[in-house]
Amino acid sequence: MAKRKSVLVLAALGAGFLLFGGSLIDAAWKRDAAMARMEAASKWVERLELTDLVLFTEARYTRNLALADRFSAFQDHPMAFEHFPSGSVALPPRHLTRAP
Amino acid sequence: MKIYLRRQLNLLEFTLSSLLRRKGKNLALLVVFSAIVFMLASALLYSHALRREAAILLKDAPELVIQKMVGGRHDLLPQANLAKLAEVRGITQIHGRLWGYLFDPIAAANYTVMVPQTNPPEPGFAIIGEGISGARGAEPGDQLSFKSHDGGLLTFRVAQVIAYESALATSDLFLVNEDDYRRLYGIAPGLFTDAVAKVRNPREVGKAAEKIAELLPDSRIVLRDEILRTYESVFDWREGLLLVLLTGAVLAFAIFAWEKASGLSAEERREIGILKAVGWETGDILLMKMWEGGVMSLSAFLIGYLLAYLHVFYLGAPLFEPVLKGWATMYPAFRPTPFIDGFQVATLLILTVLPYLAATVVPIWRAAIIDPDQVMR
């Protein structure tokens, strides 16, 4: 009875770690379930010869990140604040910023 | 062993009583600490899952994309250039792609119009992504009309809506026939948006790109590796705005936690003095404080991480949505697949627990090695 608080806290921490382990198992299970979905999407990428994902449709240089040109707004300088929020989240592709 | 365990339990019991004496302050600390871990873990989990998913989805992206550049901007590629490229040794297949953007004023959304190389839709028909279907409420059989380049109206009947499962790659796609595409944009036959090429030996992609650059100096070549690397760095937690926002929060918390953990109050000093006077050793006091730091930081890590897992993989990261969506009307209802980077999670655990433990134990150790009489005065 005297050690009720400590036992409770240890049990809570133990439960937390169990849930943490559970999250890893859940992730593995969800990954297996999602494989078919990703394969289906990958087939479309192959068939349509797509170069980019539909993450940001607001501007051409964020819709097609990999094909952005050097003169797109968000590439004025790294971390430039700009009109489109997604341009601040996504960085210019590395092959544009690398010296030729 | 039993004695050791009982001693640890007693120390923990004492620590908890001590924490409960300053209930409000410690609870506030736990909430803020957990919130910081939650934000960091959400960013880590989301960005890593997205990067892995992008790598899987784009593994079959074109090996080489060739674009014509005029005045620093992307321009249409003539058929004559394709014929030249076909002669480059190592290139087995090359053809032009037709694609472009289309703003739909009714949905106030941008679509990507594209002509598939294989099985294109019949003239007057279109295959649409689920994003367009949702934005326009269009189902197979419905008609969608758009203004063409000359102001005339072009009507397409929806032949198929691409399944939701492929939304991350196809959500905003509007697939049409080549003739319809050229009529929509007024692009003459023999001109293409860009070209894609396949190389016989994958190890020679770089060499083929060099030859293309020599042959057509006004072209820009994007390799598949570069496409993949672009998505490796997207939402990288070490880069970009996310880090700028988080750095402020983390620094503010670091100051708060350091102040709380290291700034020993007179009451705490007296407590240490009394404990030493009644026979506690320096080691016991340090152990007690380690329990305090351990319980607080581990609890914050577990609460923050588990909430972040639910937030990202069960709720689809709604807190990030306003930034990711931006001004766009269409945003794929995308729930990331949980790819978890063990190294990142371990780093987060270490960064959560160790600094806090150090901030708790070091000042106590300084106070605990002083003579109890001096501390109590």
pLDDT in tens, B276-335: 888 888 888 888 888 888 999 999 999 999 999 999 999 988 887 777 766 677 777 778
Q: Residue ranges per domain, chain B?
A: 2-58+234-376, 99-186
Confidence of residue B376 (pLDDT cuts 50, 70, 90): low
Instruction: From chain B, pick out residues whose CB is under 8 angstroms from the CB of A23.
Output: 305-306, 309, 338, 340
Instruction: From chain B, pick out residues whose CB is under 8 angstroms from the CB of A49.
Output: 61-62, 97, 117, 196
DSSP 8-state code for residue B68: E
Whether the predicted pLDDT of A78 surpasses 50 = no
Are A85 and B62 within 8 A, CB to CB?
no
In B, minimum Cα distance to A39 occurs at: B57
Size of interface A-B (CB pairs under 8 A): 225
pLDDT: which is higher, B57 or B71: B57
CB-CB: which of B56, B69, B331 is closest to A38? B56
Looking at the predicted complex, does its ipTM rise above 0.85?
A: no
Summarize the confidence of residues B70-88 as an average pLDDT. 89
CB-CB: which of B226, B302, B324 is closest to A89? B324
Contacts of residues B177-182 at CB distance under 8 Å and 24 or more positions apart, as own/partner, are B177/B115, B177/B120, B177/B121, B177/B122, B177/B123, B177/B124, B177/B125, B178/B98, B178/B115, B178/B120, B179/B123, B180/B123, B180/B124, B180/B126, B180/B154, B180/B156, B181/B98, B181/B100, B181/B113, B181/B115, B182/B98
Are B326 and A56 within 8 A, CB to CB?
yes
Distance (Å) from the alpha carbon of B110 to chain A's nearest alpha carbon: 6
Q: What is the pLDDT of residue B179?
A: 94
Which pLDDT tens digit goes with each residue over A6-37? 889 899 999 999 999 999 999 999 998 888 88
CB-CB: which of A10, A26, A70 is closest to B72? A70
pLDDT: which is higher, A38 or B251: A38
Q: What is the pLDDT of residue B17?
A: 86
Q: What is the pLDDT of residue A74?
A: 53
Confidence of residue B165 (pLDDT cuts 50, 70, 90): confident
Asked if the C-beta of A7 comes within 8 angstroms of chain B's C-beta atoms, the answer is yes
Whether the predicted pLDDT of A56 surpasses 90 = no
Q: What is the pLDDT of residue B237?
A: 52
Confidence of residue B63 (pLDDT cuts 50, 70, 90): very high
* Mean pLDDT taken over chain B: 86
The CATH class for the domain spanning B99-186 reads mainly beta
